[in-house]
Amino acid sequence: MLGDLVRRVLPPLLALLGIAAGTISSAAAAEPAAWPPKLVRIVVPFGAGSTPDIVGRVLADSLQARHPGSSFVVENKPGAAGNIGTDTVAKAAPDGATLGISIPGPLVINRMLFAKLPYDPDHDITPVTMLTRLPNVLVVPSSLGVGSVAEFVARLKAPGSSLAYASIGAGSLSQLCMEAIAQQAGAKLVHIPYAGSPNAVTALIRGDVQAACLPAISVAPQLASGTMKILAVSTPERSPFLPDVPTLKESGIAVQSDAWNALIAPRGTPPALVAAINAEVRQSLAEPGVVAKLKVQMITPALSSPDELRKTLAEEKQVWTDVIRAAGIRIE
């Protein structure tokens, strides 16, 4: 008799419990993810004073002001062209307590340059949003005597020409930009890497090199003094900071290499949590004070959805793979 009772009562009871559980689950899923937690660390895979560091600290200050009950700490973990800091984010818990600022190198380019990375950019990283963009510029010393991209290309292709360019390091976006320009022009350039933009700028001033593709802010003083000339910006459209300077594309060279910064999270971060972080960051980077701080560095907010960022990474992966292969660039 007891067995008959169990058989009659148990199925409806289980069905009822299932409905209740589904209702609770649906309600929980409908609620927005809670963010931020008490402590959020923003890992920057480059040193203090770098553009990613500047962006990270401006963002952290804004989030801190908006969420006084939480603490936002910028943690610099430089090394291995950004791989060390990016790996730190990749291996963190996917709970929103660890985020990272990153650039094309660790997310796109380094996979083609290093024999092995400690993380898989496609599977160990969760894109959150594009943060900012900074125009790179093709710049030459005024003493070179060229006033346009066409004149520069003509000089490159002249018989016996052996022009050299500076970069901020082997495999950097500044190297890839110049190699892409040379490939499009059907010419060759000698690459001389330097440890950062200041050293590359000094080499240009001394005449040790004849060109470079560098962040616009790094050559601003030389532009003002007239010792250097910008031939083009590498952004898709003209930069609001340099409205009179044509793009490379306008100048007949289909190369785009604007320096962007993006926000990333560890693999497995729930989509609802990613959406919550994205929404908070959008509010922060829309604040007039934040926009003003970034403008001083010639940086503009350039927010995106996670899917839009993922698409950008895929597109740039293809572009730079082709350039790197053609140039034979490798870092051991």
Q: pLDDT truncated to tens, each residue of the chain (332 aa)? A: 434 543 554 444 444 444 444 444 443 344 557 899 999 999 999 999 889 999 999 999 999 999 999 999 999 999 999 999 999 999 999 999 999 999 999 999 999 999 899 999 999 999 999 999 999 999 999 999 999 999 999 999 888 888 999 999 888 999 999 999 999 999 989 999 998 888 999 999 999 999 999 999 989 888 888 899 999 999 889 999 999 999 999 999 999 888 899 999 999 999 999 999 999 999 999 999 999 999 999 999 999 999 999 999 999 999 999 999 999 888 76
Please tell me the predicted confidence (pLDDT) of residue 21. 46
Query: What one-letter code names the amino acid at 67?
Result: H
CB atoms within 10 A of CB 141: 21
Decide: residue 69, CB within 10 A, 0-12 exposed, 13-18 middle, 19+ buried: exposed
Give, in order, the Cα–Cα distances in Å from 300 to each of 55, 241, 288, 295: 10, 10, 12, 6
Give, in order, the Cα–Cα distances in Å from 328 to each of 96, 210, 324, 331: 39, 22, 6, 10
Please tell me the predicted confidence (pLDDT) of residue 170. 86
> pTM, whole model, 2 decimals?
0.85
Residues in the chain: 332
Q: List, in sequence order, every residue forming a beta bridge with 114; answer none if it has no partner.
A: 331
The side-by-side arrangement of strands in the sheet containing 125-134 is 71-76, 39-44, 98-102, 259-266, 125-134, 300-301
Domains and CATH numbers, the chain: 39-134+259-327 (3.40.190.150), 136-233 (3.40.190.10)
Please tell me the predicted confidence (pLDDT) of residue 8. 53
